[in-house]
């Protein structure tokens, strides 16, 4: 045990040594390290105070990434509610080469059960589809939860996919395959064929890198800079909501007394539930209620301690918004609930406004989706990626009547 402690201390010492050593051979003092730039950028000035954000990305723990289960999952294509005539018409409407069309229109390979037309495409066909054909077919498959495609959709920003993949650590052949199997949708390139790329990778480590790349989420570190001349009362008024103002006020007042001011992570100003959850992934659970801790549960429980489990119920969410909230026509403020609605009025997402254009959100009920901060435009883009390209989401803002 003593030996282990000595080794641990030695490693810590080496890490500290390396952390202070610059590339040019000089040493950084603690004072110099404090002044070192971290590439954060300032938010717009507003009642939230002087703030800065730093883009980062996080990825799920390796024990959440089940490469074997994905590789061995059912890869059949399910077309729920389709008749043979409808499936035939679909495949004839897609721009396929003669070999692809012959395979997909071979009705001897079709199966009809449970109200669906089912077929098993060959690996060769899956790899050969052109982007336009893949987009058309996968767009239909994505409507039905029986299809693996629906659960593996990964939208890459089209203008950044080269950088994302080149920095991923994937071998060149895997990078080329991911790009070849992707198809355009708005400002994104969608990739849905993880099993095909996993098949092409040789080692478990490479497969893990792929899954981490596909599940990595971009988020923000957010800090408030309180200066001696800051309007403390205005800051306290903005960041104090519900019962949690009692903790915010002494913290901001203490920072204003620091010579030259001080920065504090916004996570320390949030209520207990988001403070506990931010940047974390939910533990997997067999409890059905846990599986549905989605965006609405996250948004409506923002100020609650303990959280209300009823907010996993869509009817309760709607009743709560109608009874306890009112629509906001002015600029949003801290704690407002931001909702994204389709043109037919259906709500597809909820989040909580923090400051400037930053929201607190959980973008799906899946355990692979963490609780994060992101910009409002990025969040809108993320959800518009999953609706028709000619449709845009409406932004609705609601404020609690009691705080």
**Confidence (pLDDT) at 19:** 39
- Residue 383 or residue 4, greater confidence: 383
Cis (ω within 30 of 0) for the bond into 158? no
Per DSSP, helices labelled H in 152-226 are 161-166, 172-180, 194-200, 204-215
Query: In the prediction, which pLDDT does 293 show?
Result: 86
Would you call the peptide bond into 306 cis, given omega within 30 degrees of 0 as the criterion? yes
Predicted pLDDT at 26:
55
Residue 15 has pLDDT above 50, yes or no: no
Q: Has residue 13 got a pLDDT over 80?
A: no
Element (H, E) at 373: strand 371-375
Confidence of residue 244 (pLDDT cuts 50, 70, 90): confident
Spatial distance between the Cα atoms of 242 and 305, rounded to a whole number of angstroms: 11
The CATH code belonging to domain 278-400 is: 3.90.1720
Q: Is the pLDDT of residue 21 over 50?
A: no
Higher local confidence (pLDDT), 83 or 19: 83
Three-class DSSP category at 210: helix
Residue 299 tokens read as: 């948004």
Contact 244, 250 (CB under 8 A): no
The pLDDT tens digits of the residues spanning 349-396 come to 999 999 999 999 999 998 889 999 999 999 999 999 888 888 999 999
What's the rounded Cα separation, in Å, for the pair 150 and 210? Answer: 18
Q: What is the pLDDT of residues 68-97, one digit of tens each?
A: 999 999 999 999 999 999 999 999 999 999
Closest by Cα among 338, 55, 384, 4 to 188? 384
Which helix (H) or strand (E) covers residue 398, if one does? strand 394-400
Q: What is the pLDDT of residue 151?
A: 86
Starting at the earlier edge strand, list the strands of the sheet with 188-191: 154-157, 188-191, 183-185
Segment 106-115 shows an average pLDDT of 95
Greater confidence, 318 or 6?
Answer: 318
What pLDDT does residue 233 have?
95
Secondary structure of residue 8 in the 3-state scheme: helix
Instruction: Identify whether the C-beta of residue 265 lies closer than 8 Å to the C-beta of residue 221.
Output: yes
Angle ∠(393,368,211) on CA atoms, nearest 5 = 105
> What is the location of CATH 3.90.1720 in the chain?
278-400
pTM of model > 0.75 = yes
Mean of the pLDDT values across residues 108-112? 96
Q: How confident is the model at residue 22 (pLDDT cuts 50, 70, 90)?
A: very low
Place of tokens 């599940």: 215
Query: What pLDDT score does 325 carry?
Result: 98
Q: What is the pLDDT of residues 168-205, one digit of tens each?
A: 999 999 999 999 999 999 889 999 999 999 999 999 99
- pLDDT of 6 > 90? The answer is no
pLDDT mean over 217-226: 97
């Amino acid at each position: 045990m003593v030996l282990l402690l000595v080794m641990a201390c030695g490693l810590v010492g080496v890490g500290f040594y390396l952390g202070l050593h610059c590339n040019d051979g000089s040493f950084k003092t603690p004072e110099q390290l404090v002044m070192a730039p971290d590439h954060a950028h300032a938010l717009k000035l507003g009642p939230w105070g002087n703030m800065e954000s730093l883009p980062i990305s996080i990825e799920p723990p390796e024990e959440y990434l089940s490469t074997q289960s994905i590789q061995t999952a059912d890869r059949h294509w399910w077309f729920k509610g389709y008749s043979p005539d409808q499936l035939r018409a679909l495949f004839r409407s897609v721009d396929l080469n003669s070999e692809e069309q012959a395979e997909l229109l071979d009705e001897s390979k079709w199966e009809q059960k449970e109200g669906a037309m089912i077929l098993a495409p060959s690996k060769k066909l899956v790899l050969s589809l052109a982007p336009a054909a893949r987009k058309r077919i996968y767009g239909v498959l994505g409507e039905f939860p029986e299809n693996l495609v629906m659960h593996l959709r990964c939208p890459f920003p089209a203008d950044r996919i080269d950088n994302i993949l080149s920095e991923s650590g994937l071998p060149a052949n895997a990078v080329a395959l991911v790009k070849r199997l992707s198809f355009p949708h708005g400002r994104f390139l969608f990739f849905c064929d993880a099993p095909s790329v996993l098949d092409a990778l040789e080692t478990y480590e490479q497969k893990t890198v792929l899954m981490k790349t596909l599940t990595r989420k971009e988020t923000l570190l957010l800090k408030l800079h309180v200066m001696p001349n800051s309007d403390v009362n205005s800051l306290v008024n903005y960041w104090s909501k519900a019962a949690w103002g009692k903790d915010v006020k002494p913290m901001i007042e203490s920072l204003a007394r620091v010579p030259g001011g001080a920065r504090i992570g916004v996570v320390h100003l949030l209520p207990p539930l988001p403070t506990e959850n931010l940047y974390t992934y939910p533990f997997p659970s067999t409890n059905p209620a846990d599986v549905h801790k989605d965006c609405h549960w996250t948004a409506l429980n923002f100020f609650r301690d303990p959280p209300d489990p009823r907010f996993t119920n869509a009817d309760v969410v709607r009743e709560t918004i109608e009874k306890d909230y009112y629509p906001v026509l002015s600029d949003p403020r801290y704690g407002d609930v931001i909702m994204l609605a389709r043109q037919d009025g259906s709500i597809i997402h909820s989040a909580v406004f923090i400051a400037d254009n930053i929201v607190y959100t959980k973008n799906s009920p899946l355990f692979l989706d963490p609780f994060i901060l992101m910009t409002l435009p990025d969040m809108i883009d993320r959800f518009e990626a999953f609706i028709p390209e000619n449709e845009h989401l409406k932004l609705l803002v609601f404020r609690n009547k009691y705080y």
